[in-house]
Amino acid sequence: MSQSIIGAAKPRVDGPAKLSGQARYAADHFPANMAYAYGVFSTIAAGKIASIDVSKARQQPGVIEIFHHGNFPHLHRSPSSFASQTKVDETRLPFEDDTIYYGGQFVALVVADTFENARDAAHYVDVQYTPSEPVTSLSQALQKNGSKPSEKNQHERGNPDGAYQSAPHKIEATYTTPVETHNPMEMHATTASWNDGDLTFYEASQGVVFAKNTIAAIFGINPARIDARSPYIGSGFGSKLWIWPHAVCATAASRELGRPVQLMVPRHQMFTTTGHRPATQQKLRLATDDDGKLVSISHDSVNSTSFVNRYVETCGVCTSSLYGCDNVRVTEGTAQVNQGTPTSMRAPGAAPGLFALESAIDEMAEALNMDPLAFRKKNYTERDGSQDKPFSSIHLMEAYDRGAEKFGWSKRDPEIGSMRNGTEILGWGMAACNWDALRQSSHARVALRADGRAMVSCATQDIGTGTYTIIAQTVADITGLPLDRIDVEIGDSAYPSGPISGGSWASASALPAVQNAARKAVDQLKGFATQDGATYADASTDKLSFDNGTLSLEGGESTDYTAVLKGQRLAEAFGEAYTGGDEKKDGYSYRSFGAHFVEIGWDPGISRLRVHRVVSAIDVGQIVNEKTATNQVEGAIEMGIGMALFEATEYDHRSGMPVNNNYAEYVVPTHADSPESIDVVLLDYPDYKLNELGVRGIGEIGITGMAAAVANAVYHATGKRVRDLPIRIEDLMRT
């Protein structure tokens, strides 16, 4: 066995296909006789449809059919259940009735012979509305109707209020984060084809198994008749986890019309019907004793949700366990606004939650006149107080130390505005990061072929993160075959059931199943080799070793394994992981950890704010591929900078319609906004309690805490504590 392939900085095996344009995304499939669908979207955020006149639209060139609530086929709402793998955040089906719950809701669907004709005809659909007063923001919703507490994810231990009252040092502050919209490069799209009651659909999806099961539930058919495909995805950040209305629209139109239909969601619609991170309002109260030991933490949050479904942003998800403290309360609640239904966005709960918590920790350290790193170390814990269990593997202290060392934290002058470089005031801030280490049951198939290649298949996906590559590395590790002789098949629900590409679950779930299947395939090969009449007919299989494509008998001869497969088509096996147990029942809490250190520069003369450099030390278990892992954290840091300084979906407070619903006005960091250096330190301690590979998953942790680290650095430079994201230069110009 070659150990070195696990952890190696291998380039993406799917890179050439992407660079050469051979990688085809959901809207790059053009089945014969395909028609194109384009939505007509509500121009009001609340009210009723008074009338829809399609007569003029019908006369436009190429129009085939126009659907709306008067003629759309009857379908079934899918249950939203992780256990049944039919999760859907907006359970309302498109065109269910004439009620408008949010701006941009589908009110009609035009199907035409070309994309251009469908889009053009959509403008001729005449929809008249009876508007009512929309609720346009979280604060307005709270004022008007208050919030509803969430039943789930609440936590209380000890006596947080009593301990707060009697403590000598305390802070209380409220933090807010705005609606943020996922903006993956690839637009959402569905290409659906029915054939004799069987459905094949290409969907920009982070979970083909869930997509298959959810569409099966909605259309009331056997999931076995559906093939959901998502071979390549131009990222998703959570917006492509579950089925949204456009997929139902395209699939239904295709069935009604008896021909393939493609629907690509235009960018502006991705601000309304495919989810967003909700707005949050979070009240933090922290108290310590005279030594700086936390004695009380409470974190009470509310988030915006739609009038259609309830989505809870679990802002307190890290607060209950990140620091050692006996008196802790976490509550979450929701308030309804006339917006589409929110959904998971990279590190849901933790990203806004740790902005609030890690800002509050900085404020508490300041109140104690303590260094913020020293304050965190003082309150370090190796036990998850919310579950009263030890963490399975924690190296947060080392993350603090190595990050601080690399950054030069010991040279920080704590005095506000004291560090300068030319005309700029420098600010140094830091924050902890934290995320769940989750996993779900997974299956995989590995086959060794007589032509010297191996095939591996699993119904998981690569959302641009490196899944193809690390699955190939896992097979290479067991078989010794080079990566270019391993064919990875993922992104198709026809393969053995695999994990969603979300929640940082895919690696920790899929790789152990792949490893298991690869081992069994090698066993199968050895079985063939020792059959009657085979090369090692009389040998016992445990005397045979397999390495680099060669079978060797202990103290005897070696054979290329392909010779053994002559006459046998494949040495093939299925593997699985976590199919039986419930990890929550065992004795550990599984989480990942890390720390960000950030330098910002504030030039008051020209009101310029820049993030100069970031050092992040990350503890996520075994690193499978140093290159793709580093890349994940770098991307998350950029996204965290976006969260800190730029991103906010703005709604017109009169109409409730999103205003900056395009790439030009929804501001994300460009290269010019990026730090001169991002240093990612991967600690690389395998977590063998989670799985045999020691892998936890790395997709989300890098964004957690990042906005707080920036805000804390801004405070250090300017003395301005910005508690409402994004931080705008106007906040810093105020005197």
Least Å from the CB of residue 241 to ligand MOS: 6
Q: How far is C-alpha 47 from the chain's CA centre? A: 33
User: Percent helix, strand, coil in the chain (nearest 5)?
Assistant: 30, 25, 45
How many Å apart are CA 322 and CA 376, to the nearest integer? Answer: 10
Structure tokens at 192: 């659906």
Q: Which of 447, 376, 280 is nearest to 593 (CA)?
A: 376
Q: Is residue 644 a contact partner of residue 726, using CB atoms and an 8 Å limit?
A: yes
Which of these segments, 140-148, 217-225, 340-348, 354-362, binds ligand MOS (CB under 6 A)?
340-348
Least Å from the CB of residue 236 to ligand MOS: 6
Which of these segments, 82-90, 138-146, 235-243, 386-394, binds ligand MOS (CB under 6 A)?
235-243
Which of these segments, 125-133, 345-353, 394-402, 666-674, binds ligand MOS (CB under 6 A)?
345-353
Q: Which of 632, 706, 728 is nearest to 354 (CA)?
A: 706
Q: How many residues bind ligand MOS (CB under 6 A)?
A: 11
Cite the beta strand spans of 178-318 per DSSP E. Answer: 189-195, 198-203, 226-229, 261-264, 280-288, 294-305
Going residue by residue from 264 to 293, which x/- string records binding to ligand MOS, judged by CB under 6 A?
------------------------------
Least Å from the CB of residue 684 to ligand MOS: 23
Is residue 188 near ligand MOS by the rule CB under 6 A? Answer: no
Q: Could you tell me which residues come within 8 angstroms of residue 229 by beta carbon, excluding any fewer than 6 positions away?
A: 200, 201, 202, 203, 208, 491, 492, 493
Give the nearer residue to ligand MOS in terms of CB position, either 348 or 621: 348
Is residue 502 near ligand MOS by the rule CB under 6 A? Answer: yes
How many Å apart are CA 279 and CA 146, to the nearest integer? Answer: 15
Which of these segments, 160-168, 245-253, 339-347, 464-472, binds ligand MOS (CB under 6 A)?
339-347
How many Å apart are CA 1 and CA 546, to the nearest integer? Answer: 8
Which of these segments, 343-351, 361-369, 509-517, 621-629, binds ligand MOS (CB under 6 A)?
343-351
Which of these segments, 106-114, 342-350, 479-487, 658-666, binds ligand MOS (CB under 6 A)?
342-350
Candidate list 344, 379, 434, 622; residue touching ligand MOS; CB under 6 A: 344
Candidate list 135, 199, 233, 241; residue touching ligand MOS; CB under 6 A: 241
* Peptide bond just before 726 cis, omega within 30 deg: yes
Give the nearer residue to ligand MOS in terms of CB position, either 314 or 589: 314
Q: Is 491 exposed, middle or buried (0-12, 13-18, 19+ CB in 10 A)?
A: buried
Give the nearer residue to ligand MOS in terms of CB position, either 86 or 344: 344
Give the nearer residue to ligand MOS in terms of CB position, either 94 or 349: 349
Q: How far is C-alpha 196 from the chain's CA centre? A: 36
Going residue by residue from 534 to 563, which x/- string records binding to ligand MOS, judged by CB under 6 A?
------------------------------
Q: Report the greatest alpha carbon distance in the chain.
A: 89
Give the nearer residue to ligand MOS in terms of CB position, either 296 or 628: 628
Is residue 356 near ligand MOS by the rule CB under 6 A? Answer: no
Helix (H, G, I), strand (E, B) or coil at 713: helix
Least Å from the CB of residue 502 to ligand MOS: 3
Helix (H, G, I), strand (E, B) or coil at 186: coil
End-to-end CA distance of the chain: 64
Residue whose pair of structure tokens reads 């501001």 in the numeric block: 667
Q: Is residue 435 a contact partner of residue 347, using CB atoms and an 8 Å limit?
A: yes
Going residue by residue from 193 to 222, which x/- string records binding to ligand MOS, judged by CB under 6 A?
-------------x----------------
Q: How far is C-alpha 485 from the chain's CA centre? A: 30
Q: Is 250 exposed, middle or buried (0-12, 13-18, 19+ CB in 10 A)?
A: buried
Structure tokens at 397: 């202290």
Least Å from the CB of residue 90 to ligand MOS: 16
Q: Which of 90, 186, 332, 700 is catalytic?
A: 700
Scanning residues 44 to 63, which ones bind ligand MOS (CB under 6 A)? Answer: none
Give the nearer residue to ligand MOS in terms of CB position, either 391 or 505: 505
Scanning residues 573 to 592, which ones bind ligand MOS (CB under 6 A)? Answer: none
Active site residue 700: yes
Least Å from the CB of residue 86 to ligand MOS: 17
Scanning residues 589 to 608, which ones bind ligand MOS (CB under 6 A)? Answer: none
Candidate list 178, 238, 340, 349; residue touching ligand MOS; CB under 6 A: 238
- The C-alpha angle 519, 520, 524, rounded to 5 degrees, equals 120
Give the nearer residue to ligand MOS in terms of CB position, either 190 or 344: 344
Least Å from the CB of residue 461 to ligand MOS: 11
Structure tokens at 168: 């000598």
Least Å from the CB of residue 277 to ligand MOS: 9
Put residue 271 in one of left, alpha, beta given phi > 0 → left and psi -120 to 50 → alpha: alpha
Is residue 346 near ligand MOS by the rule CB under 6 A? Answer: yes
Q: Where are the alpha helices (DSSP H) in 344-414?
A: 350-368, 372-378, 396-407
Helix (H, G, I), strand (E, B) or coil at 608: strand
Give the nearer residue to ligand MOS in terms of CB position, either 178 or 348: 348
Amino acid, res. 687: D
| Burial call 401-431: b when 16+ CB within 10 Å, e when fewer | bbbbeebebeebeeeeeebeeeebbbbbbbb
Candidate list 427, 503, 512, 702; residue touching ligand MOS; CB under 6 A: 503
Beta bridge partners of 432: 595
Is residue 335 near ligand MOS by the rule CB under 6 A? Answer: no
Q: Is residue 200 a contact partner of residue 229, using CB atoms and an 8 Å limit?
A: yes
Least Å from the CB of residue 350 to ligand MOS: 10
How many Å apart are CA 235 and CA 232, to the nearest integer? Answer: 9
Beta bridge partners of 425: 420, 602
Candidate list 39, 134, 260, 348; residue touching ligand MOS; CB under 6 A: 348
Give the nearer residue to ligand MOS in terms of CB position, either 57 or 698: 698
How many Å apart are CA 703 and CA 694, to the nearest integer? Answer: 22
Is residue 7 near ligand MOS by the rule CB under 6 A? Answer: no
Is residue 237 near ligand MOS by the rule CB under 6 A? Answer: yes
Which of these segments, 74-82, 236-244, 251-259, 548-556, binds ligand MOS (CB under 6 A)?
236-244
Least Å from the CB of residue 69 to ligand MOS: 31
Least Å from the CB of residue 237 to ligand MOS: 6
Q: Is residue 43 a contact partner of residue 128, using CB atoms and an 8 Å limit?
A: no
Least Å from the CB of residue 458 to ligand MOS: 18
Q: Is residue 501 a contact partner of residue 207, using CB atoms and an 8 Å limit?
A: yes
Is residue 345 near ligand MOS by the rule CB under 6 A? Answer: yes
Give the nearer residue to ligand MOS in terms of CB position, either 206 or 535: 206
Active-site residues: which are they?
A: 700
**Interface residues toward ligand MOS, by CB under 6 A:** 206, 236-238, 241, 344-346, 348, 502-503
